[in-house]
Amino acid sequence: MGLPDQVESEVLTSHGPVVMIFIMPTESMERRRQPRIKLAQVVRIRPFDPSLPPEYCTTFNVSQDGLYLATSAGHYAPGMNVYVTSDFQPGSPMSHAVAGVVVRVEKLEDEKWGVAIHIFSPSSSLVQ
């Protein structure tokens, strides 16, 4: 976290003027448990809900337990469960999906959405 900014405000009370100092952090606290690396990788995202179509997206960054991608699909919401397959090749025996959950969705430019997905432990969420 960066050095905080100070904002001073003088308030008139029944005991006279009081100067109040508010300390505001300049950066939000980092909540990530794993470091992120910038990596553009095509991944297949398949919602648990079979009525929603799978899609192929490109990641902006990845970590050991998560990824952030851009999509034009507007059906993602925090709490939504998905399967994620990296380096997906149709018919390949090496393709396997891991379970994850959408933790953040934010509006991007050009009618796109940024979607952050937390990946559950690969050893406990392997899906064929």
- Say how far apart CA 80 and CA 119 lie, in whole Å: 12
Residue 30 has pLDDT above 60, yes or no: no
Q: Looking at the whole model, is its pTM more than 0.85?
A: no
- What are the pLDDT digits (tens) for 68-110? 999 999 999 999 999 999 876 667 777 788 999 999 999 999 8
Q: What is the mean pLDDT of residues 10-23?
A: 60
Closest CA to 119 of 85, 71, 70, 72: 85
Which of the four pLDDT bands, split at 50, 70 and 90, describes residue 9? low
Higher pLDDT pick, 16 / 100: 100
Task: Show the domains of the chain with their CATH numbers.
Answer: 37-127 (2.40.10.220)
Measured torsion, CA atoms of residues 11, 15, 16, 21, in degrees rounded to the nearest 10: -40
Mean pLDDT of the chain: 78
Q: Which residues contact 50 (CB under 8 A, 6 or more apart)?
A: none
Return the pLDDT at 126: 45
**What does residue 8 show for φ and ψ, rounded to 5 degrees?**
-105, 140
